[in-house]
């Protein structure tokens, strides 16, 4: 058996030559590695598209009274930026990592449903093309915020809203098919002897995420279908004049929306567990409790949705229930943070790029969690609601949480995927520029929010100028530093780095793989026996 990591790339079929052959290979591929690669590249492209929108937002907010773009276009940017970052960047990247790693981690030759796998990817480029096409229509693009609250989106939304609705339906269909595939693969295709409690934590995190997706994506589909009916078929689900209730939309949306937050972060927990274990040269501390914590977070995520609605006029007893339920989520999350720190403690640590991103994740995600606890307190939330404090909170959770974990995963597994080591110096430059600029961008927003600056506005009072300027400078540094990441990944994929052996980190840096991470170094035709 060859030890070259390029064995990872040997597919069941010969790669065809010529443009049409290559196009056909990528269009019709059922190979989990190819499909994982497609997901990751789509995510990378949408990362720069959504990031460009964020830079338009920040450029407009550099100083009060600026008119770089119109207020209408500013609102379109805030709407599309949110939708693209959630549905177009984090989710496809996590599904890409799942496609690449899950079969190899459980000793399966491929995903259980390879044709469904192909279909679930190729729906997405059409979904995002539909979403982006709204910019080129005669009326405005969707301009009511990424949460598209009724009645603003139903009664007053532009005609392009219908294209957004169909786009969301396609994204949901893709997610549901991907989740079915993950569940079928994990339950039916594990190597002999690999019980559920021997699986790597990344696989566990994705199993739980897949059940969350199956639970909540149909709810989002229901919400946008009711929107479509209100807009065109004379119904009044969300129209008070016809006997409906706009608050119903918020309940339905956030019943999807809060578990969705955990869908974005749960696979990140798995990635961080793998990375921290490898670079501390220790087994993960409290393996079973890490899994119990993942399951507990997933279950609790279904009973906390109305903490997004404390100012919507819901009864006080309901607010108290959702406040305490939200605080309860901090317990299993704290268990995970404690176990990661305990894994690092007294480990033989080395600080390559994946580990740096994992450590930054621990600090900054925890900080975002604390501001989330502040937001869960009902009387305090009345002050924070719809201010930049909320923007600071969820960006501290999602960028150091999800995006940093994706970056850690790519640096961690890219040598295994390509057979070449990335440029470590460039990766460390990318890390430091990213982690410093993130804090320059979003830390001042806490103060802006506490001082009362409302979010989603293109202009603001004079006293908010200094912090907004700092945030804008940080955003542009963050945006352009991602070009280093792109260059490093492309160079590695093209084979410019030094070649690595099968046990990448062991060969390059003297690290050992430790159970329960990471994967065997190729997909098995004949699965091995898994021993303790």
Distance CA 78, CA 372 (A): 21
Mark whether 32 is an active-site residue: no
- Eight-state DSSP code of residue 327: H
User: Which entry of 58, 336, 393, 420 is annotated as an active-site residue?
Assistant: 336
User: Which entry of 251, 428, 455, 496 is annotated as an active-site residue?
Assistant: 455
- Length of the chain as a residue count: 532
Distance CA 376, CA 374 (A): 5
User: Which entry of 100, 262, 340, 422 is annotated as an active-site residue?
Assistant: 262
284, with CB counted inside 10 A (0-12, 13-18, 19+), is buried
Mark whether 333 is an active-site residue: yes
Distance CA 99, CA 86 (A): 19
User: Which entry of 185, 205, 273, 326 is annotated as an active-site residue?
Assistant: 273
Backbone angles phi, psi at 450, to 5 degrees: -65, -25
User: Which entry of 190, 308, 416, 446 is annotated as an active-site residue?
Assistant: 308
> Which residues have CB under 8 Å from 352's CB, separation 6+?
279, 411, 424, 427, 505, 509
Pinpoint the alpha helices (H) of 377-526.
378-384, 388-398, 404-418, 424-450, 465-493, 504-509
Mark whether 146 is an active-site residue: yes
CA atoms within 13 A on the CB side of 376: 18
Mark whether 81 is an active-site residue: yes
User: Which entry of 32, 33, 58, 258 is annotated as an active-site residue?
Assistant: 258
Mark whether 11 is an active-site residue: no
Mark whether 206 is an active-site residue: no
Q: How far is CA 182 from the centre of its chain?
A: 17
User: Which entry of 34, 60, 110, 381 is annotated as an active-site residue?
Assistant: 110
User: Which entry of 78, 161, 174, 481 is annotated as an active-site residue?
Assistant: 174
Mark whether 39 is an active-site residue: no
Cβ atoms 471, 445 nearer than 8 A: yes
Residue 486 has which token pair? Answer: 């792109």
User: Which entry of 41, 119, 146, 513 is annotated as an active-site residue?
Assistant: 146
Residue 374 has which token pair? Answer: 């502040």
Mark whether 492 is an active-site residue: no
User: Which entry of 175, 209, 418, 434 is annotated as an active-site residue?
Assistant: 175
Mark whether 110 is an active-site residue: yes
Mark whether 160 is an active-site residue: no
Rounded to the nearest 10 degrees, how much is the dihedral formed by the CA atoms of 347, 397, 172, 456?
A: -160
3-state DSSP assignment of residue 343? helix
In the chain, how long is the greatest CA-to-CA distance?
A: 71
DSSP 28-70: H---HHHHHHHHHHHHHHHHHHHHHHHHHHHHHTSSTT--SS-
Angle at which helix 246-280 crosses helix 287-300, to 10 degrees, equals 170
Backbone angles phi, psi at 389, to 5 degrees: -65, -40
User: Which entry of 169, 190, 307, 420 is annotated as an active-site residue?
Assistant: 307
User: Which entry of 32, 33, 58, 81 is annotated as an active-site residue?
Assistant: 81
Mark whether 455 is an active-site residue: yes
User: Which entry of 60, 260, 319, 352 is annotated as an active-site residue?
Assistant: 260
Q: Which of 210, 249, 212, 214 is nearest to 229 (CA)?
A: 249
Mark whether 129 is an active-site residue: no
Q: Is the peptide bond before 516 cis (omega within 30 degrees of 0)?
A: yes
Angle at which helix 388-398 crosses helix 353-376, to 10 degrees, equals 140
Q: Which of 35, 9, 1, 40 is nearest to 416 (CA)?
A: 9
Mark whether 308 is an active-site residue: yes
Residue 499 has which token pair? Answer: 């070649």
Which positions are annotated as active-site residues?
A: 81, 110, 146, 174-175, 258, 260, 262, 273, 307-308, 333, 336, 455
């Amino acid at each position: 058996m060859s030890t070259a990591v390029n064995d990872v790339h040997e597919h069941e079929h010969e790669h065809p030559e010529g443009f049409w052959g290559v196009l056909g290979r990528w269009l019709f591929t059922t190979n989990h590695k190819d499909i994982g690669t497609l997901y990751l590249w789509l995510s990378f492209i949408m990362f720069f598209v959504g990031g460009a929108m964020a830079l338009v937002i920040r450029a407009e907010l550099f100083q009060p009274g600026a008119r770089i773009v119109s207020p209408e276009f500013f609102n379109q940017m805030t709407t599309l930026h949110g939708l693209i970052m959630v549905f177009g960047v984090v989710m496809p990247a996590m599904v890409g990592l799942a496609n690449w790693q899950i079969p190899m981690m459980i000793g399966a030759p491929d995903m259980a449903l390879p044709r469904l796998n192909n279909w679930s990817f190729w729906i997405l480029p059409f979904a995002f093309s539909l979403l982006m096409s709204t910019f080129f229509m005669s009326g405005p693009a969707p301009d009511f915020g990424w949460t598209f609250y009724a009645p603003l989106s139903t009664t007053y939304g532009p005609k392009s809203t219908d294209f957004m609705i169909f786009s969301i339906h396609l994204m949901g269909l893709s997610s549901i098919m991907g989740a079915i595939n993950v569940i079928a693969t994990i339950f039916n295709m594990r190597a002999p002897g690999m019980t559920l409690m021997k699986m790597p934590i990344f696989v566990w995190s994705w199993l739980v995420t897949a059940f969350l997706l199956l639970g909540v994506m149909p709810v989002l589909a229901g919400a946008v279908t009711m929107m479509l009916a209100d807009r065109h078929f004379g119904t009044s689900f969300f129209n008070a004049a016809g006997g409906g209730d706009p608050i119903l939309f918020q309940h339905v949306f956030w019943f999807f929306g809060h578990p969705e937050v955990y869908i974005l972060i749960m696979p990140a927990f798995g990635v961080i567990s793998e990375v921290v274990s490898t670079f501390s040269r220790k087994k993960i501390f409290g393996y079973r409790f890490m899994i119990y914590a993942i399951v507990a977070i997933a279950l609790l995520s279904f009973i906390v949705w109305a903490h997004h609605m404390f100012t919507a006029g819901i009864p006080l007893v309901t607010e108290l229930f959702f406040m305490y339920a939200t605080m309860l989520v901090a317990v299993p999350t704290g268990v995970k943070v404690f176990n990661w720190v305990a894994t690092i403690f007294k480990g033989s640590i080395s600080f390559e790029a994946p580990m740096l991103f994992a450590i930054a994740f621990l600090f900054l995600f925890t900080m975002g969690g604390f501001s989330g606890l502040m937001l869960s307190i009902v009387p305090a939330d009345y002050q924070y609601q719809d201010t930049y404090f909320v923007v600071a909170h969820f960006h501290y959770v999602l960028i150091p949480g999800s995006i940093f974990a994706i970056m850690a995963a790519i640096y961690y597994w890219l040598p295994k995927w390509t057979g070449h080591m990335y440029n470590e110096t460039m990766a460390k430059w990318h890390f430091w520029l990213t982690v410093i600029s993130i804090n320059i961008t979003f830390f001042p927003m806490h103060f802006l929010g506490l001082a009362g600056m409302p979010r989603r506005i293109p202009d603001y009072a004079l006293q908010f100028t200094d912090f907004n300027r700092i945030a804008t400078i940080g955003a542009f540094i963050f945006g352009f530093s991602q070009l280093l990441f792109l260059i490093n990944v492309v160079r590695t994929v093209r084979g410019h780095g030094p070649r690595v052996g099968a046990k990448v980190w062991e060969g390059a840096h003297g690290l050992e793989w430790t159970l329960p991470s990471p994967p065997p170094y190729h997909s098995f035709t004949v699965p091995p026996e898994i021993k303790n």
